[in-house]
Amino acid sequence: MTASRITMSSEGPEFSRIAQGFGSSARWGKSPRQVLEHISECVALGVTTLDTAAIYGGGVAETLLGHSLAQAPSLRHRVQLVTKCSIGQWDTSLYHYDTSKAHILWSVDQSLTKLKTDYIDVLLIHRPDPLMDADEVAEAFSQLRASGKVLHFGVSNFTPSQFELLASRLDFPLVTNEVECSVMHLETWYDGTLDLCQRLRISPMAWGPLGGGHLFRDDTERAVRLRKELGQIGEALGASIDQVALAWLLKHPARIVPILGTGKVDRIRNAVKAESLELSREQWFRIWVASTGERLP
Protein backbone atom coordinates (compact mmCIF):
# COMPACT_ATOMS: atom_id res chain seq x y z
CA MET A 1 0.00 0.00 0.00
CA THR A 2 1.31 3.44 -0.94
CA ALA A 3 0.14 6.96 -0.20
CA SER A 4 -2.04 8.64 -2.77
CA ARG A 5 -1.29 12.05 -4.26
CA ILE A 6 -3.19 15.31 -4.34
CA THR A 7 -2.77 18.68 -6.02
CA MET A 8 -2.46 21.35 -3.34
CA SER A 9 -4.02 24.20 -5.34
CA SER A 10 -5.25 25.10 -8.81
CA GLU A 11 -1.63 25.68 -9.87
CA GLY A 12 -0.01 22.80 -7.97
CA PRO A 13 2.16 21.40 -6.60
CA GLU A 14 1.41 17.68 -6.33
CA PHE A 15 2.04 16.31 -2.82
CA SER A 16 1.82 12.91 -1.21
CA ARG A 17 -1.29 12.55 0.97
CA ILE A 18 0.98 12.00 3.99
CA ALA A 19 4.10 14.12 4.54
CA GLN A 20 7.31 13.29 6.38
CA GLY A 21 8.36 15.99 8.83
CA PHE A 22 11.90 16.79 9.93
CA GLY A 23 11.14 19.03 12.90
CA SER A 24 12.71 16.60 15.37
CA SER A 25 15.19 14.95 12.99
CA ALA A 26 18.17 16.38 14.86
CA ARG A 27 17.10 14.18 17.80
CA TRP A 28 16.63 10.99 15.76
CA GLY A 29 20.25 10.01 16.30
CA LYS A 30 20.61 9.10 12.63
CA SER A 31 23.56 9.73 10.33
CA PRO A 32 22.97 11.27 6.88
CA ARG A 33 23.24 7.78 5.40
CA GLN A 34 20.59 6.48 7.81
CA VAL A 35 18.34 9.46 7.09
CA LEU A 36 18.72 8.75 3.38
CA GLU A 37 17.65 5.15 3.99
CA HIS A 38 14.62 6.43 5.87
CA ILE A 39 13.72 8.84 3.06
CA SER A 40 14.11 6.07 0.49
CA GLU A 41 11.74 3.87 2.51
CA CYS A 42 9.25 6.75 2.70
CA VAL A 43 9.42 7.28 -1.05
CA ALA A 44 8.81 3.56 -1.58
CA LEU A 45 5.64 4.02 0.49
CA GLY A 46 4.59 6.96 -1.69
CA VAL A 47 5.47 9.52 1.00
CA THR A 48 7.47 11.98 -1.08
CA THR A 49 6.68 15.33 0.57
CA LEU A 50 9.39 16.35 3.05
CA ASP A 51 8.67 19.21 5.45
CA THR A 52 11.37 21.15 7.30
CA ALA A 53 12.21 24.72 8.39
CA ALA A 54 15.19 26.98 8.80
CA ILE A 55 14.87 27.01 12.58
CA TYR A 56 14.29 23.29 13.15
CA GLY A 57 17.09 21.96 15.30
CA GLY A 58 18.76 25.36 15.19
CA GLY A 59 19.34 24.88 11.47
CA VAL A 60 20.57 21.30 11.82
CA ALA A 61 17.42 19.80 10.26
CA GLU A 62 17.94 21.46 6.88
CA THR A 63 21.64 20.57 6.93
CA LEU A 64 20.96 16.92 7.80
CA LEU A 65 18.32 16.64 5.10
CA GLY A 66 20.61 18.26 2.55
CA HIS A 67 23.56 16.00 3.33
CA SER A 68 21.26 12.98 3.14
CA LEU A 69 19.71 13.80 -0.24
CA ALA A 70 23.12 14.75 -1.67
CA GLN A 71 24.16 11.10 -1.37
CA ALA A 72 21.47 10.13 -3.89
CA PRO A 73 21.10 13.05 -6.35
CA SER A 74 18.48 11.24 -8.45
CA LEU A 75 16.14 11.23 -5.44
CA ARG A 76 15.84 15.03 -5.39
CA HIS A 77 13.37 15.14 -8.29
CA ARG A 78 11.21 12.44 -6.72
CA VAL A 79 10.57 14.41 -3.53
CA GLN A 80 8.99 17.76 -2.74
CA LEU A 81 10.96 19.95 -0.34
CA VAL A 82 8.91 22.27 1.87
CA THR A 83 10.82 24.66 4.11
CA LYS A 84 10.06 27.82 6.04
CA CYS A 85 11.79 31.18 6.20
CA SER A 86 14.14 31.77 9.09
CA ILE A 87 12.24 33.45 11.89
CA GLY A 88 15.05 35.84 12.83
CA GLN A 89 18.78 36.34 13.06
CA TRP A 90 20.41 34.19 15.72
CA ASP A 91 23.05 36.79 16.59
CA THR A 92 20.63 39.37 17.95
CA SER A 93 19.70 39.86 21.59
CA LEU A 94 15.96 39.34 21.07
CA TYR A 95 14.16 36.45 19.43
CA HIS A 96 11.98 38.09 16.81
CA TYR A 97 10.20 37.70 13.48
CA ASP A 98 11.42 39.21 10.22
CA THR A 99 9.44 39.10 6.99
CA SER A 100 11.31 41.91 5.25
CA LYS A 101 12.20 41.33 1.61
CA ALA A 102 15.91 41.30 2.39
CA HIS A 103 15.49 38.71 5.13
CA ILE A 104 13.30 36.41 3.04
CA LEU A 105 15.81 36.48 0.16
CA TRP A 106 18.69 35.86 2.57
CA SER A 107 16.83 33.03 4.28
CA VAL A 108 16.13 31.25 0.99
CA ASP A 109 19.78 31.42 -0.03
CA GLN A 110 20.74 29.94 3.34
CA SER A 111 18.18 27.14 2.95
CA LEU A 112 19.31 26.34 -0.58
CA THR A 113 22.89 26.01 0.64
CA LYS A 114 21.96 23.79 3.58
CA LEU A 115 19.57 21.65 1.54
CA LYS A 116 22.18 21.35 -1.25
CA THR A 117 19.62 22.08 -3.93
CA ASP A 118 19.01 24.82 -6.46
CA TYR A 119 15.27 25.09 -5.87
CA ILE A 120 12.66 24.74 -3.12
CA ASP A 121 9.31 23.26 -4.06
CA VAL A 122 7.31 25.26 -1.49
CA LEU A 123 8.48 28.11 0.73
CA LEU A 124 6.37 29.08 3.75
CA ILE A 125 6.41 32.14 5.97
CA HIS A 126 6.83 30.33 9.29
CA ARG A 127 4.79 32.52 11.63
CA PRO A 128 2.68 35.67 11.34
CA ASP A 129 4.80 38.79 11.75
CA PRO A 130 3.05 41.74 13.48
CA LEU A 131 5.16 44.02 11.27
CA MET A 132 4.57 42.13 8.04
CA ASP A 133 4.37 44.38 4.99
CA ALA A 134 2.36 42.28 2.54
CA ASP A 135 3.63 44.24 -0.46
CA GLU A 136 7.23 43.63 0.56
CA VAL A 137 6.65 39.90 1.08
CA ALA A 138 4.95 39.76 -2.32
CA GLU A 139 7.97 41.43 -3.93
CA ALA A 140 10.27 38.84 -2.37
CA PHE A 141 8.05 35.96 -3.47
CA SER A 142 7.79 37.29 -7.03
CA GLN A 143 11.56 37.70 -7.27
CA LEU A 144 12.18 34.19 -5.96
CA ARG A 145 9.61 32.74 -8.36
CA ALA A 146 11.11 34.55 -11.34
CA SER A 147 14.60 33.32 -10.44
CA GLY A 148 13.42 29.71 -10.15
CA LYS A 149 14.72 29.43 -6.60
CA VAL A 150 11.20 28.72 -5.29
CA LEU A 151 8.40 27.10 -7.27
CA HIS A 152 5.42 27.67 -4.93
CA PHE A 153 4.62 29.66 -1.80
CA GLY A 154 2.48 29.32 1.30
CA VAL A 155 2.30 30.26 4.95
CA SER A 156 2.30 28.56 8.32
CA ASN A 157 0.20 29.33 11.41
CA PHE A 158 -1.61 32.22 9.67
CA THR A 159 -5.15 33.22 10.56
CA PRO A 160 -7.64 33.48 7.68
CA SER A 161 -7.38 37.28 7.60
CA GLN A 162 -3.57 37.17 7.58
CA PHE A 163 -3.68 34.62 4.77
CA GLU A 164 -6.10 36.70 2.72
CA LEU A 165 -4.03 39.86 3.21
CA LEU A 166 -0.90 38.30 1.76
CA ALA A 167 -2.81 36.46 -0.96
CA SER A 168 -4.36 39.76 -2.10
CA ARG A 169 -0.92 41.09 -3.02
CA LEU A 170 0.15 38.14 -5.17
CA ASP A 171 -0.41 37.35 -8.84
CA PHE A 172 -0.22 33.63 -8.06
CA PRO A 173 -1.92 31.59 -5.34
CA LEU A 174 -0.60 30.65 -1.94
CA VAL A 175 -0.78 26.87 -2.05
CA THR A 176 -1.14 25.94 1.63
CA ASN A 177 -1.37 27.05 5.24
CA GLU A 178 0.49 24.72 7.59
CA VAL A 179 -1.33 24.76 10.92
CA GLU A 180 -1.64 22.75 14.11
CA CYS A 181 -4.56 20.41 13.62
CA SER A 182 -5.54 17.14 15.32
CA VAL A 183 -8.19 15.49 17.47
CA MET A 184 -6.55 17.42 20.32
CA HIS A 185 -6.52 20.77 18.51
CA LEU A 186 -9.79 21.90 16.94
CA GLU A 187 -9.04 25.63 16.62
CA THR A 188 -8.83 25.52 12.82
CA TRP A 189 -12.49 24.46 12.70
CA TYR A 190 -13.53 27.39 14.88
CA ASP A 191 -11.36 30.19 13.47
CA GLY A 192 -12.32 29.71 9.82
CA THR A 193 -8.97 28.33 8.62
CA LEU A 194 -10.41 25.14 7.14
CA ASP A 195 -13.38 27.05 5.72
CA LEU A 196 -11.02 29.39 3.87
CA CYS A 197 -8.99 26.48 2.52
CA GLN A 198 -12.16 24.91 1.13
CA ARG A 199 -13.29 28.21 -0.38
CA LEU A 200 -9.93 28.72 -2.12
CA ARG A 201 -9.58 25.01 -2.95
CA ILE A 202 -6.18 24.69 -1.33
CA SER A 203 -5.07 21.87 0.95
CA PRO A 204 -3.82 22.74 4.45
CA MET A 205 -0.89 20.89 6.00
CA ALA A 206 -1.27 19.72 9.61
CA TRP A 207 1.62 19.75 12.03
CA GLY A 208 1.18 17.80 15.24
CA PRO A 209 -1.54 15.60 13.66
CA LEU A 210 -1.31 13.22 16.64
CA GLY A 211 -1.34 16.01 19.20
CA GLY A 212 2.43 16.11 19.56
CA GLY A 213 2.27 12.82 21.47
CA HIS A 214 -0.04 14.24 24.14
CA LEU A 215 -2.85 12.06 22.83
CA PHE A 216 -0.95 8.96 23.99
CA ARG A 217 0.74 10.08 27.20
CA ASP A 218 -1.41 12.76 28.86
CA ASP A 219 -3.74 11.83 31.71
CA THR A 220 -6.10 14.77 31.20
CA GLU A 221 -9.81 14.03 30.93
CA ARG A 222 -9.73 14.99 27.26
CA ALA A 223 -6.86 12.69 26.36
CA VAL A 224 -8.38 9.80 28.31
CA ARG A 225 -11.76 10.29 26.60
CA LEU A 226 -10.13 10.40 23.19
CA ARG A 227 -8.00 7.32 23.75
CA LYS A 228 -11.08 5.39 24.84
CA GLU A 229 -13.18 6.49 21.85
CA LEU A 230 -10.40 6.07 19.32
CA GLY A 231 -9.62 2.66 20.78
CA GLN A 232 -13.23 1.50 20.50
CA ILE A 233 -13.54 2.71 16.92
CA GLY A 234 -10.16 1.23 16.09
CA GLU A 235 -11.23 -2.11 17.47
CA ALA A 236 -14.29 -2.06 15.23
CA LEU A 237 -12.19 -1.14 12.18
CA GLY A 238 -9.18 -3.30 12.95
CA ALA A 239 -6.95 -0.24 13.30
CA SER A 240 -4.69 1.39 15.88
CA ILE A 241 -5.47 4.60 17.77
CA ASP A 242 -3.02 6.63 15.71
CA GLN A 243 -4.48 5.34 12.45
CA VAL A 244 -8.01 6.30 13.51
CA ALA A 245 -6.81 9.77 14.58
CA LEU A 246 -5.19 10.29 11.17
CA ALA A 247 -8.19 8.90 9.30
CA TRP A 248 -10.30 11.45 11.19
CA LEU A 249 -8.20 14.27 9.71
CA LEU A 250 -8.06 12.72 6.26
CA LYS A 251 -11.87 12.58 6.08
CA HIS A 252 -12.17 16.36 6.10
CA PRO A 253 -13.14 17.83 2.70
CA ALA A 254 -10.36 20.44 2.87
CA ARG A 255 -8.00 17.51 2.12
CA ILE A 256 -5.68 17.98 5.08
CA VAL A 257 -2.12 16.69 4.63
CA PRO A 258 -0.85 15.34 7.98
CA ILE A 259 2.89 15.75 8.67
CA LEU A 260 4.41 12.86 10.61
CA GLY A 261 7.52 13.82 12.55
CA THR A 262 8.68 10.30 13.29
CA GLY A 263 11.97 8.79 12.20
CA LYS A 264 10.51 5.28 12.35
CA VAL A 265 9.36 3.87 9.04
CA ASP A 266 6.85 1.52 10.71
CA ARG A 267 4.91 4.54 11.90
CA ILE A 268 4.95 6.02 8.41
CA ARG A 269 3.69 2.70 7.06
CA ASN A 270 0.84 2.73 9.61
CA ALA A 271 0.00 6.29 8.63
CA VAL A 272 -0.24 5.35 4.97
CA LYS A 273 -2.64 2.54 5.88
CA ALA A 274 -4.86 5.10 7.61
CA GLU A 275 -5.85 6.37 4.16
CA SER A 276 -7.84 3.20 3.58
CA LEU A 277 -9.90 3.56 6.76
CA GLU A 278 -13.48 4.65 6.14
CA LEU A 279 -14.90 6.37 9.20
CA SER A 280 -18.65 6.70 9.21
CA ARG A 281 -20.09 10.14 9.92
CA GLU A 282 -21.25 8.83 13.29
CA GLN A 283 -17.77 7.61 14.17
CA TRP A 284 -16.28 10.94 13.12
CA PHE A 285 -18.65 12.84 15.38
CA ARG A 286 -18.07 10.46 18.28
CA ILE A 287 -14.43 11.52 18.16
CA TRP A 288 -15.40 15.21 17.93
CA VAL A 289 -17.60 14.87 21.03
CA ALA A 290 -14.83 13.02 22.87
CA SER A 291 -12.50 15.91 22.09
CA THR A 292 -14.85 18.72 23.10
CA GLY A 293 -16.39 16.87 26.00
CA GLU A 294 -19.75 18.34 25.06
CA ARG A 295 -22.82 17.02 23.32
CA LEU A 296 -23.53 18.72 19.99
CA PRO A 297 -26.20 21.42 20.31
Residues known to be catalytic? 56
Contact 6, 255 (CB under 8 A): yes
Kindly write down the DSSP assignment for every residue of 50-114, as one continuous string.
EE--TTGGGGHHHHHHHHHHHTSGGGGGGSEEEEE---S-TTSSS------HHHHHHHHHHHHHH
Among 170, 91, 160, which Cα is nearest to 134's?
A: 170
Please name the residues in contact with 180: beta carbons below 8 A apart, sequence gap of 6 or more. Answer: 157, 187, 188, 206, 207, 208
Among 181, 233, 190, 189, which Cα is nearest to 211's?
A: 181
Among 219, 217, 236, which Cα is nearest to 280's?
A: 236
